[in-house]
Amino acid sequence: MMDALYILDASVFLMLTILANLSRRIGEALQIPPHYKLFSTGSVLLLIVVTADILAGLFWGDTAKAITVSLRALIAAVAVPICFRYWVWLFNENISRK
């Protein structure tokens, strides 16, 4: 089960990195405040969580693993509203055409 979680972590890290770069460019074009930096912060936090999760498997118990899973959920909870902040114009553009 944990191997699948690490694959998910790697894909989320890649997704956050790509979203940070794309959102930075869109933010510069639309002159939106630099909220994209939270994607980068989420990526770094995810690396810390994965490291803590590996250490939890070696030294600590299931409580530490529950904390790391909760931190993963927190990263997602922060990333989704920021993603909407940068990309909502796509939805508005599509709705206005119909």
Residue 54 · residue 63 · CB < 8 Å? no
Query: What is the per-residue pLDDT across 13-70, written as a single tens digit (0 to 9) for each?
Result: 898 888 888 888 888 887 888 887 888 888 888 888 888 888 776 677 677 778 888 8
* pLDDT greater than 80 at residue 95: no
Q: How many residues does the chain have?
A: 98
Q: Write down the pLDDT at residue 7.
A: 85
Q: Write down the pLDDT at residue 30.
A: 78
What is the pTM assigned to this prediction? 0.73
Give the separation between CA 87 and CA 60, rounded to whole angstroms: 40
Q: Write down the pLDDT at residue 28.
A: 84
